[in-house]
Structure 1
């Protein structure tokens, strides 16, 4: 166990195919109306379907030879699906239903730090750590506090130390569709301090929870979360369309900043969100507007949060998770955006095509 945890700790102390069918008519999102440069970016590839997996979140890891491994959670099959990041070829699956280490019950959120994969499980509420590329179980945390966790975001906070933010979207009622009382909405995001000793063993400490129980940034249903350490921001996705669905800007102290994206930004559900860092302070936020027949992807300026533009693919729909690989790969010399397609496949978008359509900063292309 310890050598994989130690590898991640050392990394922290130093820093962090099938052919697409013809497109259906697209539904234009309100966020893209009137924004120059919005429109179609064709997928570089769409993987073969994996029926029955109910794919949700994705993450990437690059090996020492520069090959990109793409990992996706399969909620219905209780396992992880692995793909080649350049070709989209399905490689293998790992796990299966169970509560033992290396088994999962409805895995959802994913994050990578060093040579460790973090897997959030909704129905055995915990976060497992697995070694990469072997995907052998190493440790877990959160079992005493988490109730129905979904998303996760990590940031280095000290040498051999991480801070983990985990969204916890527990609900009530027979169908688990009743929003908890306002007082319990302060538990929507839980914080943990993860320390690795010199032998690589994990010590996890629960640091409490946060979430606005009332007002415009109330968190009724949460899943996706991502942060920007430079600007001290956490973007938390509110999925409840009656709220309406949006991204709210919190600080690392758990307080709402008073800012959210403009109401009406998302015509569907606000889902996956990633930071595309292009410099010390510049870059873009990229967020999913989950819709059918086509998902829209919205971009916002990293510093000002102003809308920059939007795009959709030819077929990609009902997207949950996304992952951005900004480093060059053999197939994608300027980087690639991966997106879940309709719970059953993975789509890849060349970052050069996105930048060209929207007129983005050339510095973002390496």
Structure 2
């Protein structure tokens, strides 16, 4: 009699535990069917979320200190005219950067954000950089890391409606910055800025020569627009652009075109030529947003966000062939995602790396890369 009572009690406990999970999964599947997603995504449980305060979150970037291993997650807050800083390993809120205004260190609707790191390759630059795109300020500001001091601003008078940003290294090891700009002319939808070191201010030999509009000067570091590009028509036409990512091993730019007439990612070379390839066609049903790369030599994967109001779907593409590999969604449901970021290597409790995604313009959800790779059945490709 006692054993039957114990078994009955255990069954009730299991039911209480599993019922909410089952209901959540049924809800997710209902959303998948409702939104007519091209492939049925797998479900990946998030590991943690950022803590308050939050604002109107948009884009993400992660910086890791090569010496201490400290990792910071930067989140732009468009409404609050600030950049929020969190501990990337735990999601704990640390501090704000910036206030509303047009002075150095202030922002007017910050949108895109990126981190440029010297650790990626040798460079004459003396500091890592945090770069922030201001939509209403129509400029890009650069801050030194880790002290977060304003260094310079550039793009004023050239950029019209800037949104997204990607960074790279020039042949000299100095920063290269790509900014998406919804300008009047489609041939100016992406602007490339190259950095140089001011020899008179630093005593450092001059780096790359820039030939274009005058750069905005700051002690030691200058940026100038060296190229503006985008096809005037055809399959390479960029109608409405925001998210952009640079692939250094392939020399490619992945540019999300959010227009309902496109809804794909277009592939450009980093010197401005459309390479004749798009991907995401038929898979993206709302707006292609945040893009992140998992780099494994020349192999790896590209994650592209299908930003839907009630359910964000994260599509995974082969980095070499651009072929679709699968898709995943979050549990709890992650929706209306703008920015994403990906960290390779151990990060706190996430031994295999981390993937971050904005949820509903507010919090940031963190996923273990190992969980994603197992669920989507991604296999290490080698070099």
Superposition TM-score tier, normalisation by shorter sequence: 0.7 to 0.9
Deviates more, 1:157-166 or 1:78-87: 157-166
CA distance in 1, matches of 2:172, 2:281: 39
- The residue that corresponds to 2:32 in the other structure is 27
CA distance in 2, matches of 1:205, 1:296: 37
CA distance in 2, matches of 1:297, 1:70: 20
Contact 2:194–2:226 (8 Å) recurs in 1: yes
Q: Residues 234-278 of structure 1, C-alpha deviation per residue, up to 9 Å, x if partnerless? A: 11010112x121101111221211110152220110001111102
> Between Structure 1 and Structure 2, whose CA radius of gyration is higher?
2
Provide structure 1 residue ranges, at least 5 long, that are not aligned to the other structure.
1-19, 171-179
Map of 1:272-351 to 2, 5 A cutoff?
272-278=290-296, 280-314=297-331, 315-351=333-369
Contact 1:27–1:293 (8 Å) recurs in 2: no
Match of 1:105 among 108, 114, 139: 108
Map of 1:1-366 to 2, 5 A cutoff?
24-25=27-28, 26-27=31-32, 32-33=38-39, 38-48=41-51, 50-51=53-54, 53-63=55-65, 64-114=67-117, 115-170=128-183, 180=184, 184-197=185-198, 199=202, 201-241=220-260, 243-278=261-296, 280-314=297-331, 315-362=333-380
Note the C-alpha offset of 1:333.
0.9
Q: Normalising to structure 2: TM-score of the pair?
A: 0.81
CA distance in 2, matches of 1:326, 1:22: 30
Note the C-alpha offset of 1:31.
6.2
Higher helix share: 2
SS in 1 for 2:166: strand
Deviates more, 1:260-269 or 1:312-321: 260-269
Contact 1:32–1:309 (8 Å) recurs in 2: no
Note the C-alpha offset of 1:27.
2.4
- The residue that corresponds to 2:17 in the other structure is none
Contact 2:256–2:265 (8 Å) recurs in 1: yes
- The residue that corresponds to 1:6 in the other structure is none
Contact 2:80–2:109 (8 Å) recurs in 1: yes
CA distance in 1, matches of 2:317, 2:38: 11
Note the C-alpha offset of 1:101.
0.4
Note the C-alpha offset of 1:316.
1.0
CA distance in 2, matches of 1:262, 1:153: 20
Aligned length: 327
Note the C-alpha offset of 1:224.
0.5
1:49 and 1:316, CA in 2 relative to 1: closer, same or farther beyond 3 A? farther
Contact 1:249–1:258 (8 Å) recurs in 2: yes
1:30 and 1:161, CA in 2 relative to 1: closer, same or farther beyond 3 A? farther
1:122 and 1:93, CA in 2 relative to 1: closer, same or farther beyond 3 A? same
CA distance in 2, matches of 1:98, 1:69: 24
Contact 2:39–2:327 (8 Å) recurs in 1: no
CA distance in 2, matches of 1:132, 1:168: 26
Contact 1:286–1:299 (8 Å) recurs in 2: yes
